Amino acid sequence: MRCPTCEERDTRVVDSRDLDEAATIRRRRECVSCGARFTTYERMEAARLVVVKRDGTRQEFDRDKLAAGIRKALTRRPVSEGAADRAADEIEAILRAAGATEVESSRIGELAMEQLRALDQIAYIRFASVYQSFEDLETLKREVDSLYAEREPAMEPRRP
């Protein structure tokens, strides 16, 4: 691990802690030569997870691509920074916990929609309309109606 400032190879660990229930270890390092401090992350190499697309082609599960898709749906929505990454991590955790080495892309789409539904309803509709391609306006309306029905009473528009 080279120092990002001076490229010195000799660094020492000044702090080390577990993240995400110890799946990741974060280390603060200090360059022995110039004293610059930087952070490294160490993760267990994950087992292979292959996505089977609708047309039958297979590709390696790409968590970053999934996060990008979720982030796109959340564009300009009032959610915290990092929400898309957390959602993608959550989906990956669910898939890995299931223990299968292959997963249908439609399953990942469903999980993404579940995450978005809980995060932001507009983002959910955005994602679902692209992903699920609502057959017609009637299907879309039913989905929107079901979202309204689930809303907290406090969020209901005040009636005159």
Residue 31 in the binding site for Zn ion (CB under 5 A): yes
Residue 3 in the binding site for Zn ion (CB under 5 A): yes
Q: How many CA atoms lie within 13 A of 7 on its CB side?
A: 0
Residue 125 in the binding site for Zn ion (CB under 5 A): no
Min dist CB 29 to Zn ion, Å, is 10
Residue 121 to residue 117: CA distance in whole angstroms: 5
Residue 139 in the binding site for Zn ion (CB under 5 A): no
Q: Out of 13, 23, 34, 68, name the contact with Zn ion by CB under 5 A.
A: 34
Min dist CB 25 to Zn ion, Å, is 22
Q: Which of 105, 96, 141, 50 is nearest to 113 (CA)?
A: 105
Question: For the chain, how long is the longest CA-to-CA vector?
Answer: 71
| Both structure tokens of 96 | 């890995």
Min dist CB 105 to Zn ion, Å, is 44
- Point out which residues pair with 52 in neighbouring strands: 58, 104
Residue 52 in the binding site for Zn ion (CB under 5 A): no
Residue 114 in the binding site for Zn ion (CB under 5 A): no
List helix spans (H) across the chain: 63-73, 83-98, 105-119, 121-131, 137-150
Residue 8 in the binding site for Zn ion (CB under 5 A): yes
Interface with Zn ion by CB under 5 A: which range of 33-41, 76-84, 135-143, 148-156? 33-41
> Could you say which DSSP state residue 22 is in?
G
Q: Out of 1, 2, 6, 24, name the contact with Zn ion by CB under 5 A.
A: 6
Q: Are 115 and 69 in contact (CB under 8 A)?
A: no
Chain residues in the site for Zn ion (CB under 5 A): 3, 5-6, 8, 31, 33-34, 36
